[in-house]
């Protein structure tokens, strides 16, 4: 039995037409392979490619095989992975033939020589002996042919047995490899599906968070806008009168020359002391812009709508001036009025 071995390296293909039958009995991953590294051995025989085995460093470093290859087969070896795979086995050698036949041939020649000597002594026996010898030779030749045929048949049977067994083992290995590949494919598909579901869930959560964030921003913007709207509108008018809108009104704005009815509270700006007001539902009426009231009122009330409230800040010049209105309003006093337009009269 002659040893056979081969190292199959990554990204290389070993091709050969079998000139002498051999059997691969073992595959082993290279010692340099890190733990967990996977390498698959692929075998191609006469255009039929199969996965012979899958090795995992640190787990399945070595695998027993029975792969027989017959003379004349076109074979290829390659691997899927990044590490060498060592293949070992033995060459199938034919049993020596011809020695017994050689001895028998020598024996036949000796016998024929002996018979020829005897024929020279007795010519009358030559015919019988020759006939006998011819019969014996024919029988011996037939026996030799039968022995050769039996020997050939035995050799063929011996060659066929490991080949059939190797094919069966190869088919089993192939089925197992296909099963493992299918399981791996199924696991990868399940993992991919799970990852897709998790990604979809993450995206959904991200959308939800974004929606909530946008809603918060929108609410905050609306609140700010509302606050801006609710914030009193402060304007500086003629003569330094400052008008701040406290509440919006409705309808048409009052104009100069129209008679208006007002409710009000008057205070000194200096100390916020109240000096005058309307009481209950009573109102104070005057014609706007006619000089019936202090200058600051004609300026600050103009443009108000029914129901509107304003805060009017009047400098002394637009109020009671240097004289004031003793005893409640001192000279040069700045005033503050809160006014509400109750009614605009037609005449």
How is residue 126 written in tokens?
A: 């030559």
3 counts as catalytic: no
Note every long-range contact of 2-5, with CB atoms under 8 Å and residues 24 or more positions apart, other chains counting.
2/90, 2/91, 2/93, 3/88, 3/89, 3/90, 3/91, 4/88, 4/89, 4/90, 4/91, 5/86, 5/87, 5/88, 5/89
Query: Per the residue annotation, which of 275, 284, 306, 328 is the catalytic one?
Result: 275
Query: Per the residue annotation, which of 22, 299, 337, 344 is the catalytic one?
Result: 337
Pairing, β 233-236 against β 242-247: antiparallel
Query: Per the residue annotation, which of 79, 294, 299, 344 is the catalytic one?
Result: 294
Query: Per the residue annotation, which of 22, 69, 77, 264 is the catalytic one?
Result: 264
What is the strand order of the sheet 62-69 is part of? 2-8, 85-91, 22-29, 62-69
Query: Per the residue annotation, which of 69, 79, 320, 344 is the catalytic one?
Result: 320
264 counts as catalytic: yes
337 counts as catalytic: yes
Residues 6+ apart with CB under 8 A from 243: 234, 235, 236, 237, 300, 310, 311, 312, 313
Q: Is 256 left (phi over 0), alpha (psi -120 to 50) or beta?
A: beta
299 counts as catalytic: no
> How far from the centroid of its chain's Cα atoms is residue 226's Cα?
46
14 counts as catalytic: no
Query: Per the residue annotation, which of 108, 276, 328, 334 is the catalytic one?
Result: 276
Partnered with residue 340 across adjacent β-strands are 263, 309
Active-site positions? 264, 275-276, 294, 320, 337
């Amino acid at each position: 039995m002659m040893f056979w071995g081969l190292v199959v390296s990554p990204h290389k293909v070993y091709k050969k037409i079998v000139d002498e039958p051999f059997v691969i009995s073992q595959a082993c991953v290279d010692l340099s392979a890190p733990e967990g590294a996977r390498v698959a051995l692929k075998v191609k025989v006469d255009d039929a490619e199969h996965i012979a085995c899958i090795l995992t460093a640190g787990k399945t470093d070595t695998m027993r095989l029975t792969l027989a290859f017959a003379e004349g087969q076109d074979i290829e070896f390659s691997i899927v992975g990044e590490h060498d795979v060592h293949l070992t086995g033995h060459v199938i050698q034919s049993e020596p033939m011809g020695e017994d036949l050689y001895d028998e041939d020598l024996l036949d020649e000796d016998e024929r020589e002996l018979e020829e000597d005897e024929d020279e002594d007795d010519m009358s026996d030559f015919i019988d002996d020759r006939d006998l010898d011819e019969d014996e030779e024919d029988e011996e030749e037939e026996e030799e042919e039968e022995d050769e045929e039996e020997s050939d048949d035995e050799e063929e049977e011996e060659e066929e047995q490991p080949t059939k067994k190797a094919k069966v083992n190869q088919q089993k290995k192939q089925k197992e490899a296909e099963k493992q590949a299918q399981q791996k494919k199924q696991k990868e598909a399940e993992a991919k599906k799970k990852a897709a579901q998790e990604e979809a869930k993450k995206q959904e959560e991200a959308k939800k968070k974004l929606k909530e964030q946008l809603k918060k921003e929108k609410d905050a913007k609306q609140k700010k806008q509302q606050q801006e709207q609710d914030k009193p509108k402060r304007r500086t008018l003629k003569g330094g009168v400052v008008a701040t809108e406290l509440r919006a009104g409705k309808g048409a704005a009052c104009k100069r020359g129209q008679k208006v009815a007002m409710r009000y509270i008057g205070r000194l700006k200096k100390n916020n002391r109240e000096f005058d007001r309307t009481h209950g539902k009573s109102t104070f009426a005057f014609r706007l812009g006619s000089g019936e009231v202090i200058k600051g009122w004609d300026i600050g009330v103009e443009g108000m709508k029914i129901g509107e409230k304003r805060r009017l800040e009047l400098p002394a010049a637009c109020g009671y001036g240097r004289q004031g209105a003793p005893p409640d309003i001192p000279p040069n006093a700045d005033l503050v009025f809160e006014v509400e337009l109750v009614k605009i009269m037609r005449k």
